[in-house]
Each structure stands twice: as structure tokens, then as C-alpha cells.
Amino acid sequence: MNHHDIINQEPSLEKAPYACLVGGEIPEPANIVIFGASGDLTKRKLLPALAHMHRWNLLGPHSRIIGVSREQWKQSHWVNYVHDQLLQYFPDAVLNPPSWQAINKKLNFVRGDLSDPQLYQELIKTLHAAEDGKTNVLFYLAIPPSWYATVCKNLHDAGLSNEDAGFRRIVVEKPFGMDYHSAHQLNSEFQTYFKESQIYRIDHYLGKEAVQNLMVFRFANSVLEPLWNRNYIDHVQISVSETLGIGYRAGYYETSGALRDMIQSHLMQVMTLVAMEPPVSLHADDVRTEKMKVLRAIRPFTEDDLQNNCVRAQYSDGKVEGKRVPAYREEEDVAHNSCTETFAAVKFYIDNWRWQNVPFVLRTGKRLPSRVSEICIRFKTPPQNLFKNNAQQSLPQNELVFRLQPDEGMQLSMTAKQPGLSTAMRQLKLNALYSMEGAGMPEAYETLLHDVLLGEAALFSRADEVEESWKIVEPIMQAWAKEQDIATYEAGTWEIPGMDELLNDCCGAWRNCHADDEEQ
């Protein structure tokens, strides 16, 4: 079914700007049970994503959105809550009365304590069977990780992990563990009560349009493959810079820091997609097996590497986007002598035939000058410079950039002749921005929820992937835990001590991450 059919089915729904991008397969109706219904993730990401899916008729009339929380709410309170959150995060869903009425009909609320078996009995009574008699259920754990095991066990004991009556899938948010040991333990707990094929470990970076495009770009074009290796690529930079600080999340962030929060999950996942071999098929296990091979090939860190290839720092006060912001240590609930890193950069090497000695340099930080996420593939310079007699002493490197946000798209920089009588050269930037096509994009959570409902697990991490990535970063975590102090950088600047030195063995400097590409 294409998107026109979808629009025809629900004439009350407006045509969204990304109509051309929808056209997704329609999943079977399901009960979407959100544990942590009153939480931040639910209001900011899950409810808007579900409302978007409803708009495209991807939920079906027999689907339900069941909020579970300890709050002393009644059904009417939940409905009002959803209304108010959508008004803030996706107003179109509410301002269009037929759309809101249809969403409203799908809403149910179950109150109770996650540790109380009675809650799960109440839940069973609320589940709605579709026309074909099937009762599919997606459980979304938007709750603190300390509750995961309890909920899994109680679901299992209530018979809710059993797939006789329909599919039962459980979605779990990051952080998945805090180190290898805890991730391994968590995997065992999940796998005691659910089969691996029922578990969806979400990493929302994999739902981003530009990340998925990376796969298409790599494997649906033949021009790239001959270049995609150590013979032509000098190094790869993956950068996620944020302007925000830690907000109200000190409790979590103080125990996490940038390495755990971003590098172990989002950035390493992206790295595996850049580096993996073409999978046999797009079946989840074929893709994940290739990603896993990349992780297994990552060169372990020696003592010297821990010194030379890993950089961390913490923001001091400064000015971001024109506003003064406090130092990390002055943020609410942060220890005044905290050594938690708000910036981390790590240089990885992948010891295999394709990537031997090609640095993959990953960096991420908060309170940086702009919010930009991108992957930059930096190619080697041509073997000989034929144009030395001009002012141009050295040839610039070609660069292929995948911009994850903002302005998702791709950019290839090439050297070209400057028009005129000389052979002077200039840099041409060939841009293919999605936004130029006049199309909006599905949010990462929308893509991922749609995939869970379809049973497509390729964009979710498998148990062994998560454990392996913890194993890789654990020596860094241990080395940093011993340090008594931490370098600082002024908020709103890229003045990070040691960051430039990470590229000492790479050709070229860090790509200048600006939100406005003209400033490059």
C-alpha cells in the first residue's frame, strides 16, 4: 500500500509534509503499553511519535496506547495529559478535532506499582484484541533501568511474554547497563523472561534518517565501494556536538558522563554502520552480525593509547548562543568537585583488511558552540600535486559528510578549477540536503516504533553488540575513574585541551562543526 492509499483511508487526516517519505508498511494492530507514562521520554518523544503514526494510519483502528504509571490518575487525567503534551510537542494532532478524537479513543490508563503483580492483572484486562482475535502487545520500558528486571519478571509471571495470543515485544531504552558486567547481567535477566527475538534495545541514533541513508548510500551505489577502504580513506570523524547542558539530569549524568552516555552507544553504533562489510541481507541478524564483527575487530587500548587516544574534559562557564551559562560543577545537583566528563573523544582502530590503520575518531560534548551531528569521511590527498606552480601548495582532501542534524543530508567536497585563465583551484561543495526537496522527516522514534511493530530488528542492538561495546570502552572508563581532576573548556567554544592532538596521525584537521554550513 502506498501513501495515497493511506491518506484515502483516513480522509480526516491532513497531508503531512513528508507524505512522500511515508508509504511504510502498515503493521498489525497492537496494544502499545508505556511503562513510565508520566515521564519525560513519553511526553517528548513517544506520544508525538505515536500521534504521527496515527496520522499516517500506521496504528490501525484496533491499536491502543496504554499508559502505565504510579500516578494517582484516572483515565480522564491521562487523556487530558496526552492532550496537553501533544499540544506542546505535536499540536497538529490535537488541533485537528477528528484526529484528536481518534487518538483519544485509543487511550487507556492502568495505575499501579511496578512491583505489584495486581498491576499486570489489570493490564491484561485492558488489552484489546484486534478483529482477527490477535492481541499483539508492545511493552515500552520508559522507566529507570533499576526497574527493568522487576517488570520483565512480572510480565512473564502474568503470562504476558507468551506469544500464543499475538506478538509480545519489549522495547528497552538506553542506558543498557553501566559497564560490561551490568549489561551482561541485564541481558541474562531479560533473556530469562523473553526470547532475544522479542527484545528491542533502542538506540535512537539508528532511527535517524541520515544514519539509515548511510546504509542505502553505501550499499545501493557501486561508485563508493571501491573507495571505501584504507587505500583511499585517510580517517573518519564522527562528531555529535550539543549546545545544551545537562539540564535537570544531573542524577543520571553524574554517574554516566559523555563516554557512557554517547560514545558507547550512539557514536559507536554509527561507527559500525560506516565500517561494516556488506551484509548478506537486510535481515536483522545479518546486519547485526556484520556490526558485531566490526566491534570485535576494534584494537584494544594499551596504556599509551589510553593516554594518547582518549580525551575528556568538562565545561566551565561561558556563553552559548549568546547566553551566559554556568559551569558544569555549578549545575543543579552536580558535585562541586565533580570529575564527570561533558566532552569525550576517542580514536579507534579497526584491525581488519578494510580498515587497518585508518583512525575512526569519535567526539561528543555538551555546551559546545552549535548543535551538529555528522559523519565525515576524509579521503587521502591525490598521490601527486600537479598544480604546485599555483598558489595552491597542497591539494585539499575530498570529504564526504553525512549530516545527521540539523539539515540532514550529504555533502561532497571536491577540488575544481577556478573559472579564468589560470589553473587556480577552489573547493566545490556538492550538497544533497533532504530539506532542499521540501520534505520533512519522520522522527527517529517514529521510525523505530514502526519497526518494532513490524518486527524489524535491524535498527536495534543485539545482546552481544551491547556487551562488546561496553568491553571496548571499559578500560577507558577505568583509567578515567582513577583521575582526580579533569581539564575544562569554556562553554560555547571548541577550546578542548588535547582534542587537536588526537588527529596528529591524520591528514587534515577537525572538520569545523557549525550549524550553518556557509561558515565551514
Considering the complex, state which of residue 107 and residue 270 has its C-beta at the smaller distance from ligand BG6: 270
* Beta strands, E only, 225-354: 233-241, 310-316, 318-320, 323-325, 343-349
CB of 205 to ligand BG6, least distance (A): 7
The 211-250 site mask, x for binding ligand BG6 (CB under 6 A), equals -------------------------------x--------
Contacting residues for 460 by C-beta, under 8 A, at least 6 apart: 200, 201, 202, 203, 206, 284, 448, 451, 452
The 99-138 site mask, x for binding ligand BG6 (CB under 6 A), equals ----------------------------------------
Number of residues that bind ligand BG6 (CB under 6 A): 5
Is residue 172 within 8 Å of 148, Cβ to Cβ? Answer: yes
Considering the complex, state which of residue 64 and residue 174 has its C-beta at the smaller distance from ligand BG6: 174
CB of 502 to ligand BG6, least distance (A): 21
CB of 313 to ligand BG6, least distance (A): 16
Buried b (16+ CB within 10 A) or exposed e, 12-48: ebeebebbebbebebbbbbbbbbbbbbeebbbebbbb
Picking from 173, 176, 194, 211, the residue whose alpha carbon sits closest to that of residue 42 is 173
Is residue 346 within 8 Å of 306, Cβ to Cβ? Answer: no
CB of 423 to ligand BG6, least distance (A): 42
Contact flag: residue 446 with ligand BG6 (CB under 6 A): no
71-75 contact pairs (CB < 8 A, 24+)? 71/37, 71/38, 71/111, 72/111, 73/38, 73/109, 73/111, 74/109, 75/107, 75/108, 75/109
Q: How are strands ordered across the β-sheet holding 310-316?
A: 425-433, 409-417, 399-405, 372-379, 233-241, 359-365, 343-349, 310-316, 488-490
Considering the complex, state which of residue 206 and residue 274 has its C-beta at the smaller distance from ligand BG6: 206
CB of 373 to ligand BG6, least distance (A): 6
Cell numbers standing for residue 50: 505515536
The answer to whether residue 266 is catalytic is yes
CB of 61 to ligand BG6, least distance (A): 31
* Residues in a beta bridge with 111: 69
Helix (H) or strand (E) holding 293: helix 284-297
Residues in the chain: 520
CB of 174 to ligand BG6, least distance (A): 6
Question: Which one of 49, 99, 260, 261 is in contact with ligand BG6 (CB under 6 A)?
Answer: 261
The 169-198 site mask, x for binding ligand BG6 (CB under 6 A), equals -----x------------------------
Q: Which is catalytic among the residues 266, 336, 450, 514?
A: 266
CB-closest chain residue to ligand BG6: 261
Is residue 52 within 8 Å of 446, Cβ to Cβ? Answer: yes
What is the distance between the alpha carbons of residues 432 and 419, in angstroms, rounded to a whole number?
A: 23
CB of 58 to ligand BG6, least distance (A): 21
Contact flag: residue 341 with ligand BG6 (CB under 6 A): no
Helix (H) or strand (E) holding 363: strand 359-365
Contact flag: residue 373 with ligand BG6 (CB under 6 A): yes
Half-sphere exposure of 352 (CA within 13 A, CB side): 17
Considering the complex, state which of residue 248 and residue 300 has its C-beta at the smaller distance from ligand BG6: 248
Residue ranges in 58-87 that form contacts with ligand BG6 under rule CB under 6 A: none
What is the distance between the alpha carbons of residues 241 and 405, in angstroms, rounded to a whole number?
A: 10
Residues annotated catalytic, as ranges = 266
Contact residues toward ligand BG6 (CB under 6 A) are 174, 204, 242, 261, 373
